[in-house]
Amino acid sequence: GFHGNRTIFDGDDGFWAMAGSDRFDESALTAAWGNRFFILETGFKPYGVCRWIHTTVDALRRLQGDQPFWAPEVKEVRVETVGEFVREFNGPWPGSTVEAAFHIPYAVALELHDKSSTTGLRDGDLLDPALRETASRVKLSVLEGADDKFYSKRLLPARVTVTLNDGTKVLADAEVPTGAPGGPAFDRPEVEYKFLTITAPVLGLTVAETIRDAVLEIESLRVRDVLQRASAAA
């Protein structure tokens, strides 16, 4: 017998403000109509962690590409980044893959153990004592100027310094993550590979490839065609 509020979306404290924004500007919806296509500003995520952590992973992977090294060779990893990331993406060992997606030391440890989040996050890795020990060698601190770049320019500054057991130090910086507009490319071959890597173990390679091919032809197919192809492949 409870009747909903007919004006729930209205007023200064209505649903629009509680669940949306009190700075909502409806004119922005059509301001660049026909000229600006936001789909072209959409990025692809190569790693299965929060986008804000991606520049840290990018910098580390670049260092590993220049001079391959793995967990046993690493004495310490210093990650300097935005203050908010240092506060929020650290702390206790994650208890689930959801928590792991927002944990910088965990993401770094995965890379150093050749278990990159490029293939997703796995429950079993949370129980790996070697990963946990490696993550304890990852230290976080605030990078000078990073907060201003993050809040005013929407950049994701990160500097990763790796100290090896022999005393060698290497470092790399990143501000725009791979796959983001203006960042390092994550092109069609990489997107297709990621799709197959994640879906094939669940659907089978034949079905996964069929869906991939259908999606690539989506402009000329009906939804029914896509479903029929997938069903036939299964």
Average pLDDT over residues 97-122: 96
CB distance 108 to 135 below 8 Å: yes
CA distance 31 to 67: 48
For the cut 90, the answer to whether the pLDDT of residue 39 exceeds it is no
Average pLDDT across the chain, whole number: 91
For the cut 80, the answer to whether the pLDDT of residue 227 exceeds it is no
Alpha helices by DSSP H, listed for the chain, are: 15-19, 54-66, 83-88, 97-100, 104-112, 129-135, 146-153, 188-203, 205-216, 223-233
Q: Domains along the chain?
A: 51-174 (3.30.1330.120), 188-233 (no CATH)
For the cut 90, the answer to whether the pLDDT of residue 143 exceeds it is yes
- pLDDT tens across 153-197, in order? 999 999 999 999 999 999 999 999 999 998 999 999 999 999 999
pLDDT-based confidence at residue 233 (cuts at 50, 70, 90): confident
Classified as helix, coil or strand, 74 is strand
Instruction: State residue 176's pLDDT score.
Output: 97
Instruction: State residue 27's pLDDT score.
Output: 87
Instruction: State residue 12's pLDDT score.
Output: 73
Instruction: State residue 136's pLDDT score.
Output: 97
For 160, the enclosing helix (H) or strand (E) is strand 158-164
pTM of structure:
0.82
DSSP state of 120: -
Percent of the chain with pLDDT over 90: 70
- Residue (of 59, 62, 13, 78) closest to 157 by Cα position: 59
Average pLDDT over residues 3-11: 75
Instruction: State residue 103's pLDDT score.
Output: 98
- Residue (of 110, 20, 47, 170) closest to 29 by Cα position: 20
Instruction: State residue 61's pLDDT score.
Output: 97
